[in-house]
Structure 1
Amino acid sequence: MSLAAFTAVTVVLIGDAVPPFQGLDASVTLWALEVRADPLTAVAVLLHHIGQRPWGVLLLAAVAAPLVYLRRWWSLLLVLTAWLATSAIAVKALKELLGRERPVDQLIQETSPAFPSGHAAYAAVLGMAVVAVAVRHRGWALVGALLFTAVMGWSRIYLGVHWFSDTVAGALLGWGIALVTWWAFALPGLVPVTRAPSEPAPEQVRAADD
């Protein structure tokens, strides 16, 4: 569902230089400009640094560390695969393919194309990693993951480096790749390279982690 929605937005951008949702994008950006204040700017800039190297990688490593401690190698591989597929491949390729221009009034300087938001995609994958770790409190972890992704998306709009649709698309892309990866790793017949004796077989991953 996430990837289908993302694909629909992408197709619209490819087929129309001025997408039908550009008016909404402009309105949200204008609102962000009107509410700018020093405390909000400090939070947005902090999130900017959290979502890029090296801090983004270090934060993901910290979230994934319990998987190493618990020897949940299958879940760790899932998290790393989703992150690499999203950040290192999909986001970069789509930015180059679409080449969408960023908003003009930026509080920080970004020169790469706008669509999709890499920070929003990263936040979605990081949230998935938290959900993978939090076996016993997955519901609360999911709520936190959604909130973190939403706040990250807000920060990109607030800083003037992304349109609203860029952040929505980035989140959909991150969630979509994470969910597809999760599903693929749970397919019967797949055998992980290394799995702790206490970790369930691949076909039981979804049930055991829920």
Structure 2
Amino acid sequence: MTDKILKAKHWQLFFLLVGVPVGLFLTIGVIISSIIKGGTPPEPEDFFKLISIAKFFPLIMVLFVSLIFSWFWSVSVGLQNNMPSSVEMKTTKFKIFSCIPLLYVSGFCVFMFVALSKVKPQVLLQDLPQIPMEWLTPILFILHILSVFGIFYSMYFAAKTLKTAELQREVTFKDFASEFFMFWFFPIGVWILQPRINEMAEKNGVENNV
């Protein structure tokens, strides 16, 4: 899987990272718009139709986040063979911090999908299970902070890995700041970064065949 992502063309990766999620979101949006006719408040039966369709939004978000982090992971781990012998980049911390936001977002989205799936016309609001927010809120806050850090660290490590593989020396943030922001703004960055990643992956393949 890592090798396929590293060797994927920029337009193929753009289609996966942007085209597929956006297309799914738009499709569901069109369906929802067809239920809400003329901007009038939906009837009760239409409201539950909206809920039954909206529950798929979290699943699309899981797909989107998984694809993004697959790209970060492939660059950060897959290009380690391109590192110069004088530079050692340990991936353990990266793997831990990249898994935190992935698990956090996936868990939250799955919870939302299950919760929305349980909303039925015959179920009253007071009959729904109550969530103990007094202890859940601080836990979610901590996980949210760790997830935000994990996202930025994943982009930081991927950018540093790519630049180190290209320059074949120890790099500072000044050297790979532009790559960091291109990973951040990936809909644009993928067109610039992926050809360079392809080159590194091809070089890695040649070296492994020697």
Q: Select the structure with the greater relative contact order (CA < 8 A; seq sep ≥ 6).
A: 2
State which structure, 1 or 2, has the greater radius of gyration over its C-alpha atoms. 2
TM-score range, shorter chain: under 0.3
TM-score (norm 2): 0.27
Question: Greater helix share, 1 or 2?
Answer: 2
